[in-house]
Amino acid sequence: MITVESLTRRYAGFTAVDNVSFTALPGRVTGFLGPNGAGKSTTMRVMVGLTAPTSGTATINGERFANLPNPGLEVGVLLDASAQHAGRTGREILTVAADTMGLPRTRVEEMIELVSLTPTEAKRRVRNYSLGMRQRLGIATALLGDPKVLILDEPANGLDPAGIRWMRDLLTNFASQGGTVLLSSHLLHEIEVIADDLVVIGNGKIVAAGSKEELLVAAGTLARSTSPRDLAHALEQAGIPSTLASDGSVRTDADPARVGAVALTAGIALTDLRSAEGAGLEDMFLSLTADTQREGVAA
Amino acid sequence: MTATIVPPDTIEAEPARRTAQPIPTSRLVKVELRKMFNTRSGFWMLISIGVLSPISAGSLLVFGLNSDVTYQNFVRASGFPMSVILPIIAILAVTGEWSQRSGLTTFTLVPSRGRVIGAKAIATLLVGLGAVSVAFAVGALGNLAGSALAGVDTAWDVSLSMALQMVLYNLVGMAFGFALGVVLRNSAAAIVGYFVASLVMPGILALLAQVRSGFEDLQPWIDWHYTQVALLDGATNTVKEWAMLGSTTTIWIVLPLVFWLLSLRRSEVK
């Protein structure tokens, strides 16, 4: 379990993380979302002791990271796959990490196999690795000590589609065995598929947190009908505001059950009725972080 | 704004915490030793010491006069490449964590930065002692071969005091490189800094001593290179000379390290 309490990190003249509190629970994958520069990475860096907080605390299973006797065995960390000595081979980087944690060398070979690096690739120097290969190596380093908590910053970055699928299965399995996963990503679709809980951060502040279902229900319903105008009218009659898109879909904040009921009473045949999920997370993300977006997107 | 997630189907079972043992310092030292030589640059520096030291001693065999065939000269010759390479090894042992950003992994595996730097210091010391032993061994072989070739008596003209000073010369050089690495945390800057301090600065200070007569007395107390040369020549003998060494070591090595200790705790590892 990861607990962040009233965490604040100030730099000269600006606050990167502003009174952030949240919990990432065991058995669940917690997605950490936010625009560039929102404070995700700083929060994660404070969790693992690389950055000192100005105030507040971050604990792993109730303990400050710096107080863990052998942190690699308890927390797997991947903050930046490119942060490796370019002159070392992939295998050597894992060997050094395994030696530091006091693990047998056989663990290195197991990890190389687990992340699907070929023996030839493992012998190459990291300088010659692609971003995807570096990510795999970083994940191998994080998993080396068989930890119960994972903190991953943008782990899907640079992975090929098969790699992304593999990572998704890996993290889901990890969580289903009682592990805690905190993962940040810009790939909203990825997060939407994999995360159980979401924490959205913008300008250093938490703008939303909760289970994915809770947050996405708030994103509303998308319905289609052969006569969209009638549907929109019926909804309005029932006191449900809705918007009629040019493609003939009707969007509303009400939940699907209510929209279905309204359509039934009005005698309108629906051709499509669902939680506005597909675009839901993206819409939610953009609207929640609208004030903090560089592009000034109005959701 | 703060928020807490309270999902409906939380798995309550907290994973049983394993009783992890703290990482022993001996293991950290071993790991740091390995890290000094498992990179391409580290590997080649080790090779270059192994190759250049005998070449340097060998050149004395080939080009030296019969009168040059003494143990002192052979040890100096085989030790010369080391006096250049060892400080660079010390610098890179520290700066690699920042310049190559491997510190992100190192300091998450071992959150205590002081312990990591301490382990690096011990590893550096061990490498220095090992390398200097090699210099003495290569010098001895060269001396035996040289005296046999030249048909002169083998001269073992290195006293214990001189030998200790030669060892200290290399260790102080490494310590200076280490301190520079710790303070600058950047490979290029630290290496340039090292050569400025050992090649450019002595000239400027010597010039200053010539121009200002008052500075002449002060120079041995603040000129790092001056006391290094004295060590290399085995000429650090009196209490005053040792005090001068203490003074330059404090200025160039101890103070920077203390400054670093104060700044490191809250510094960010990027």
Question: Which tens digit of pLDDT belongs to each residue from A213-253?
Answer: 887 766 678 888 888 888 888 988 888 888 888 788 888 88
Contact A88 B38 (CB under 8 A): yes
pLDDT at A219 (0 to 100): 62
Q: What is the C-alpha separation between B246 and B240, in angstroms, rounded?
A: 10
Instruction: Please tell me whether residue A75 adopts helix, strand or coil conformation.
Output: strand
* A45 min Cα distance to partner chain B (Å): 9
Torsion of CA A21, A25, A30, A35, to 10 degrees: 10
Tokens 């303990």: give the residue: A63
Contact A48 B269 (CB under 8 A): no
For testing contact with chain A, the best of B5, B17, B37, B187 (most A CBs within 10 A): B5
Please determine, for residue B14, whether its predicted confidence score (pLDDT) is greater than 50.
no
pLDDT at A10 (0 to 100): 94
Contact A206 B1 (CB under 8 A): yes
Q: What is the C-alpha separation between B169 and B229, in angstroms, rounded?
A: 8
Contact A102 B40 (CB under 8 A): no
Q: What is the pLDDT of residues B194-219, one digit of tens each?
A: 999 888 988 898 888 888 888 888 88
Vertex B168: Cα angle to B162 and B170 (nearest 5): 110
pLDDT at B6 (0 to 100): 47
Q: Which residues of B touch A125 (CB under 8 A)?
A: 40
pLDDT at B7 (0 to 100): 47
Q: What is the C-alpha separation between A2 and A4, in angstroms, rounded?
A: 7
Nearest-Cα residue of chain A relative to residue B102: A84
For testing contact with chain B, the best of A33, A96, A197 (most B CBs within 10 A): A96
Contact A209 B5 (CB under 8 A): yes
pLDDT at A280 (0 to 100): 67
* B55 min Cα distance to partner chain A (Å): 27
Nearest-Cα residue of chain B relative to residue A144: B109
DSSP state of A48: T
Residue stretches of chain A with pLDDT short of 70: 217-219, 276-280, 292, 295-299
Contact A61 B14 (CB under 8 A): yes
Which of A6, A45, A96 lies closest to B31 in CB terms? A96
Contact A179 B15 (CB under 8 A): yes
Which of B1, B20, B31 lies closest to A100 in CB terms? B31
Q: What's phi and psi for A57, nearest 5 deg?
A: -135, 160
For testing contact with chain B, the best of A74, A100, A124, A127 (most B CBs within 10 A): A100
Please list the residue range(s) of chain A that carry CATH number 3.30.70: 220-276
pLDDT at A279 (0 to 100): 53
pLDDT at B32 (0 to 100): 97
Query: What number of residues does chain B have?
Result: 270
Nearest-Cα residue of chain B relative to residue A72: B109
Which of A71, A102, A148 lies closest to B15 in CB terms? A148
pTM of the shown model: 0.85
Name the average pLDDT for chain B.
Answer: 88
pLDDT at B1 (0 to 100): 45
Vertex A247: Cα angle to A242 and A249 (nearest 5): 35
Please determine, for residue B3, whether its predicted confidence score (pLDDT) is greater than 60.
no
pLDDT at A275 (0 to 100): 75
For testing contact with chain A, the best of B23, B39, B94, B104 (most A CBs within 10 A): B104
Q: What is the C-alpha separation between A28 and B7, in angstroms, rounded?
A: 9
* Class of domain A2-210 as given by CATH: alpha beta
Q: Which residues of A touch B41 (CB under 8 A)?
A: 87
CATH of A220-276, one of 3.30.70, 3.10.20, 3.30.530, 3.40.50: 3.30.70
Tokens 């330059």: give the residue: B248
Which of B7, B20, B269 lies closest to A74 in CB terms? B20
Return all residues near A70 (Cβ < 8 A) that are at least 6 apart: A101, A102, A145, B20, B21, B22, B23
| Contact call for residues A208 and B1 (beta carbons, < 8 A) | no
Q: Which residues of A touch B110 (CB under 8 A)?
A: 71, 100
pLDDT at A214 (0 to 100): 80
pLDDT at A281 (0 to 100): 77
**Residue B11 confidence class, pLDDT cut points 50, 70, 90:** very low
Contact A28 B96 (CB under 8 A): no
Q: What is the C-alpha separation between B15 and B19, in angstroms, rounded?
A: 12
Please list the residue range(s) of chain A that carry CATH number 3.40.50.300: 2-210
Q: What's phi and psi for A279, nearest 5 deg?
A: -90, 0
pLDDT at B18 (0 to 100): 52
ipTM of the complex: 0.86
Q: How far is CA A222 from CA A215, A238, A282, in A?
A: 16, 16, 14
Return the amino acid letter for B32: E
Q: How far is CA A37 from CA A244, A296, B176, in A?
A: 34, 15, 39
* B33 min Cα distance to partner chain A (Å): 10
Contact B2 A21 (CB under 8 A): yes
Q: What is the pLDDT of residues B64-113, one digit of tens each?
A: 777 788 999 999 999 999 999 999 999 999 999 999 999 999 999 999 99
Mean pLDDT of B105-125: 94
Q: What is the pLDDT of residues B139-193, one digit of tens each?
A: 999 999 988 888 888 889 899 999 999 999 999 999 999 999 999 999 999 999 9
Q: What is the C-alpha separation between A82 and A113, in angstroms, rounded?
A: 20
Please determine, for residue B229, whether its predicted confidence score (pLDDT) is greater than 50.
yes
Q: Which residues of B touch A207 (CB under 8 A)?
A: 1
Dig out the tokens for B155 from the structure: 């001269």
pLDDT at B171 (0 to 100): 96
pLDDT at B213 (0 to 100): 82
* B155 min Cα distance to partner chain A (Å): 44
Which of A49, A65, A85 lies closest to B100 in CB terms? A85
Greater confidence (B4 vs B102) lies with: B102
* A133 min Cα distance to partner chain B (Å): 16
How many beta-carbon pairs below 8 A join chains A and B? 157
